Structure 1
Amino acid sequence: MTRAPLVFITGASSGIGQALAARYHAAGYRLALAARRGAEVTAWAQSQGIAAEEFAVYAADVRDVASITGAGRDCIASQGVPDVVIANAGISVGIDTAVLDDLEVMRATYETNNLGMAATFQPFVRAMCERGSGRLVGIASVAGIRGLPGHGAYCSSKAAVISYCESLRGECRPHGVKVVTIAPGYIDTPLTRHNRYGMPFLMAPERFAHKAFDAIAAGASFRTIPWQMGVVSKLLRMLPNALFDAVLAGRPRKRRLGE
Structure 2
Amino acid sequence: MEKLVFITGASSGIGQALALRYHRAGFRLALVARRTEIIQSWLEAENISGDSCKIYNADVGQPESIQAAAIQCLNQQGVPDVVIANAGISIGMDTAIASDIQVMAQTFAVNNIGMAATFQAFIRPMEQRGSGALVGIASVAGIRGLPGHGAYCASKAGVIGYCESLRGELRAAGINVVTICPGYIDTPLTQRNRYGMPFLMQAEAFADKAFNAIQSGASYKVIPWQMGFVAKAMRLLPNGIYDKLLQGRPRKHRVSEE
Report the TM range for the smaller structure's normalisation. Answer: over 0.9
2:141 — aligned with what? 143
Moved over 6 A (4+): none
Q: Offset at 1:215? A: 0.3
Following TM superposition, by how much is the alpha carbon of 1:198 offset from its aligned partner in structure 2, in angstroms? Answer: 0.2
SS in 2 for 1:181: strand
Aligned to 1:228: 226
Who is 2:5 aligned against?
7
Mapped partners of 1:254, 1:38: distance in 2: 28
Q: 2:123 matched to which residue of 1? A: 125
CA distance in 1, matches of 2:256, 2:201: 26
CA RMSD in angstroms, aligned pairs only: 0.5
Q: Return the alpha-carbon distance in structure 2 between the equivalents of residues 172 and 46 of structure 1.
A: 37
CA distance in structure 2 between the partners assigned to 1:231 and 1:107 by the alignment: 31
Which position in structure 1 is the counterpart of 2:110?
112
Match of 2:97 among 99, 117, 126: 99
Q: Write the deviation string for residues 28-81 of structure 1: whole angstroms up to 9, x where unpaired.
A: 000000000112111211211011100000000001111100000000000000
Paired residue type of 2:249 = R
Aligned to 1:42: 40
Q: Which amino acid aligns with 1:75?
A: C
Q: How many residues align?
A: 257
Partner of 2:174: 176
How far the C-alpha of 1:136 sits from its partner, in A, is 0.2
Compute the displacement of 1:242 (Å). Answer: 0.6
The corresponding residue for 1:252 is 250
Q: Give the Cα separation in 2 of the matches to 1:38 and 1:117.
A: 19
State the match for 1:53 in structure 2.
51
Counterpart in the other structure of 1:78: 76
CA deviation string 1:85-110 (max 9, x = no partner):
00000000000001111111111100
How many Å separate the matches in 2 of 1:11 and 1:205?
14
% identical equivalent positions: 64
Q: Which runs of 5+ in 1 are unaligned?
A: none
Counterparts of 1:40 and 1:125, CA distance in 2: 29
Give the letter for the 1:121 counterpart: F
- CA drift at 1:258: 2.7
SS of 1:58's equivalent in the other structure is strand
